[in-house]
């Protein structure tokens, strides 16, 4: 794990998202610059921040990374903020096969696009009488895990439903990431049940920082986001959280304390992979 001297101030922007893409980009910009003015140098936007969240909207709002307005705008925001920007996610159209992905783009403080993560676990659930959502109706799943090198150290990126799967976070931690960042949009059924629990679980299992950044709740929208963007520390402790409204939360991520904590309770070196090396071969 990189133990850097450069302090990392994380900001999660819980953005109010509308059906107007230009307005969403402008709102994101205002908040990114506000976070930077408060000293944040790692700034995160929510899942699907430039479009309403819904399978019917994805094809309509999808854009290519090469020449879409969102990438241009996010790159300028990162550059003007002089901060790393984990640009939430956007519906991305791949011009080679016309498939659509739920994609997070990441920028360095010079505004260069340094990583993309296409959501690898699509949100396909059916809880009778509560919520049915099938991202796979219009989206395709990504095919790789994403780790990003920054001046602070390495960071793993997932998107929302990806957090339910412990393996990517464990792989990220074992490969030296100090944080997992999840732009996400849980809902009023699964949010109260699992949103915070999953973040704390990923954090305590891997003794790493975990942050999840949601859109603000809009009860007039088709999908009601849970909100409650949250930052969790390597001991599984909630450092900062919020309600369902638009706003920003901040935390200083302290890698020295994290390293000490990992030394005190050395889970990584105590793992018994001789007993559970390849769980994919265990029949459910
Ligand atoms: N956007 C999502 O992936 C939602 C995931 C979710 O709500 C869950 O319960 O998981």
pLDDT tens-digit series, residues 201-219: 999 999 999 999 999 999 9
Return the sign of the alpha-carbon dihedral for residues 42, 122, 118, 32.
negative
> Whose alpha carbon is nearest atom 7 of ligand 1?
186
* 160 is an active site residue: yes
Mean pLDDT, residues 57-85: 98
Protein residue with least CA distance to atom 9, ligand 1: 190
Q: Of ligand 1's atoms, which has the minimum distance to the CA of residue 160?
A: 3
Measured in whole angstroms, how far is the alpha carbon of residue 172 from the centre of its chain? 14
Residue 193 has pLDDT above 70, yes or no: yes
- DSSP state, residue 125: E
- ipTM confidence: 0.99
47 catalytic residue (yes or no): yes
What percent of the chain lies above the pLDDT cut of 90? Answer: 94
Tokens of 117: 């993560």
Place of tokens 């095919």: 143
Query: Is the pLDDT reported for residue 4 higher than 70?
Result: no
Is residue 207 within 8 A of residue 267, CB to CB? The reply is: yes
User: Is the confidence at residue 184, as pLDDT, over 90?
Assistant: yes
Predicted pLDDT at 118 = 98
**263 CA to middle of ligand 1, Å?**
33
Per-residue pLDDT tens for 107-155?
999 999 999 999 999 999 999 999 999 999 999 999 999 999 999 999 9
Active site residue 119: yes
pLDDT number for residue 277:
81
Q: Where residue 279 falls among pLDDT bands split at 50, 70, 90?
A: confident
Residue 139 phi, psi (nearest 5):
-110, 160
pLDDT value at 5 more than 70: no
Of 21, 92, 104, 119, which residue is the catalytic one? 119
Residue 74 is predicted with a pLDDT of 98
d(CA 50, CA 47): 9
- For 225, the token pair is 């986001």
Mean pLDDT score of the chain: 96
pLDDT of residue 266 exceeding 90 = yes
Query: Using CA atoms, how far apart are residues 183 and 55, in angstroms rounded to an integer?
Result: 17
Query: 1 pLDDT exceeds 80?
Result: no
- What is the per-residue pLDDT for 3? 52
Q: What is the reported pLDDT for 37?
A: 98
pLDDT of residue 187 exceeding 80, the answer is yes
């Amino acid at each position: 794990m990189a133990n850097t001297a450069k302090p990392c101030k994380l900001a999660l922007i819980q953005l109010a998202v509308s059906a107007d893409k230009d307005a969403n980009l402008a709102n994101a910009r205002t908040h990114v610059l506000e976070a930077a003015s408060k000293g944040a140098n790692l700034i995160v936007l929510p899942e699907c921040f430039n479009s309403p969240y819904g399978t019917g909207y994805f094809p309509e709002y999808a854009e290519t990374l090469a020449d879409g307005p969102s990438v241009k705008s996010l790159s300028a925001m990162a550059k003007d903020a002089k901060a790393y920007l984990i640009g939430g996610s956007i519906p991305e159209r791949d011009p080679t096969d016309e498939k659509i992905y739920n994609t997070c783009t990441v920028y360095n403080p010079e505004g260069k696009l340094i990583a993309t993560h296409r959501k690898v676990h699509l949100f396909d659930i059916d809880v009778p009488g509560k919520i049915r959502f099938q991202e796979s109706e219009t989206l395709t799943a990504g095919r790789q895990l994403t780790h990003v090198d920054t001046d602070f150290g390495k960071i793993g990126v997932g998107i929302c439903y990806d957090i339910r799967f412990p393996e990517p976070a464990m792989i990220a931690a074992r490969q030296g990431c100090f944080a997992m960042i999840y732009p996400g949009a849980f809902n009023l059924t699964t949010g109260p049940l699992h949103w915070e629990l999953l973040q704390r679980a990923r954090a305590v299992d891997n003794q790493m920082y975990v942050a999840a950044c949601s859109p603000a709740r809009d009860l007039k929208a088709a999908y009601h986001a849970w909100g409650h963007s949250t930052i969790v520390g390597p001991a599984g402790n909630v450092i900062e959280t919020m309600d369902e409204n638009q706003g920003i939360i901040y935390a200083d991520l302290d890698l020295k304390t994290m390293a000490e904590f990992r030394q005190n309770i050395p889970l990584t070196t105590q793992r018994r992979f001789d007993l559970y090396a390849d769980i994919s071969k265990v029949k459910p």
